[in-house]
Amino acid sequence: MRASLVSLLAVGSNLFSSFTSASPLKADNEARADSWPYSPLVTSGRDMKNARGENVVYAGTNWPGHSEVMIPDGLQYQSIETIVSKIKSAGMNAIRLTYAIQMIDEIYANNGQDTTVKASFTKALGSTNGPKVYSQFLAKNPSFNDSTTRLQVFDAVAAECLKQKVFVHLDNHMSRATWCCSTNDGNSWFGDRDYNVENWTRGLSYMANHGKNWPALTSMSLRNELRKPDSNPTLSSQSYNWRDWYINIKKGTNAINSANPNLLIFLSGLDFDTYVTPVVQGTALTPGSDKFSITDFQGYSNKLVLEIHNYQNSASNCNSLKSSLYNSGFQALHADDSKTVNVFPVLLTEFGFDMTGNAWQGTYATCIASYLAEQKAGWFIWVVSGSYYIRSGTQDFEETWGLLKHDWSDWRSSAYIEGGLKPLAKATAQG
């Protein structure tokens, strides 16, 4: 919510091998066809399936790790085990774990060495608050120490998810590590101020390769909420379109699949990822005349999934909202529709609402839940976070949309968890 490419790849290969060999998770780095998560996952028509041919449906929550500290939020308040256990206790089976390309850029700039968490807290929160919050982080997560790096925290989250059988979907949320999203933030579109395409594909490759050490990792996204780059009028007028979307998403899918062919790859659409209709209906990718073709993804055509977001929180008519969801992308689940040219699994990877009142009983929340249950579709609610290390310059930012309280200790709305979230998870989660 809210050098040449050849030389880069050559350097990347060296970085991959050096980092992977040092990973404490290397012993578990093979895809698990004989034990959970029974990977690799593939697509078959409208469904995601595991290696045993069983349907897999993600029912989960977003866990941000893309802000300035560049580790998953909340760890100054609770341990990784506690947070994952809380997610699992509500019947959810997946997390959408976000990261920033800046983290990988800094690893490359530092000769393959990642920044320590200690240094990252100080850089993000300052010389006074940084060490203070870092001390709280260590107190709640005593297995870490002053040499722990940012990626090792991600490693630990993935390891705990494996232990508790929670799927990890890795989402590239931003290039520059900061709160998302705005059309003026420089991260909006391919080639925007902070959105260097070569760095982006390099980062996707790096994380896909590193993710070989995470058996719970079964999918990755290309990019969160592509949007009009209003701060760059020339780029906006010349490139913000479906034609250039297709050119670039093929670069992204190739980067991920070449580095880790086991992963499913999620494709997001335009206008803050609110629709992918031209892909579903096979219409011209304007202003060009080319159309989306699965044959353009040779060797991994059964690895592609569509995702959309929806924040039509003011909806007052459920039938209208369901129609909007269908026309924006969920049509791809329906091969029986004559206008459906390309059939895919479709997930609602972001939706959400204020947890401090009764919004969960309103039209938007109840309609979304009923639709997902009817469609047997996957989802990730925004957001698990009760607070953020920092958001838009404010440290220890309160997140009223968060499933958890400010200190991540308990549910913000137990009424929603019991009356809304748990029933939704029970009606959808598979795998």
Give tens-digit pLDDT for 229-254: 999 999 999 999 999 999 999 999 99
Note the pLDDT of residue 33: 82
SS3 of the chain: the string is CCCCHHHHHHHHHHHHHHHHHHCCCHHHCCCCCCCCCCCCCEEECCEEECCCCCEEECEEEEECCCCCCCCCCCCCCCCHHHHHHHHHHCCCCEEEEEEEHHHHHHHHHCCCCCCEHHHHHHHHHHHHHHHHHHHHHHHHCCCCCCCCEHHHHHHHHHHHHHHCCCEEEEEEEECCCCCCCCCCCCCCCCCCCCCCHHHHHHHHHHHHHHHHHCCCEEEEECCCCCCCCCCCHHHHHHHCCHHHHHHHHHHHHHHHHHHCCCCEEEEECECCCCECHHHHHCCECCCCCCECCHHHCCCCHHHEEEEEECCCCCCCCHHHHHHHHHHHCHHHHCCCCCCCCCCCCEEEEECCCCCCCCHHHCHHHHHHHHHHHHHCCEEEECCCCCEEEEECCEEEEECCCCCECCCCCCECCHHHHHHHHHHHHHHHCEC
Q: What is the pLDDT of residue 32?
A: 72
- pLDDT of 31 reads 58
pLDDT tens digits for the chain (431 residues)? 543 333 333 334 444 444 443 344 443 445 578 999 999 999 999 999 999 999 999 999 999 999 999 999 999 999 999 999 999 999 999 999 999 999 999 999 999 999 999 999 999 999 999 999 999 999 999 999 999 999 999 999 999 999 999 999 999 999 999 999 999 999 999 999 999 999 999 999 999 999 999 999 999 999 999 999 999 999 999 999 999 999 999 999 999 999 999 999 999 999 999 999 999 999 999 999 999 999 999 999 999 999 999 999 999 999 999 999 999 999 999 999 999 999 999 999 999 999 999 999 999 999 999 999 999 999 999 999 999 999 999 999 999 999 999 999 999 999 999 999 999 999 999 99
pLDDT recorded at residue 22: 39
pTM of the model: 0.94
At 256-267, the pLDDT tens digits run: 999 999 999 999
What is the pLDDT at residue 29? 44
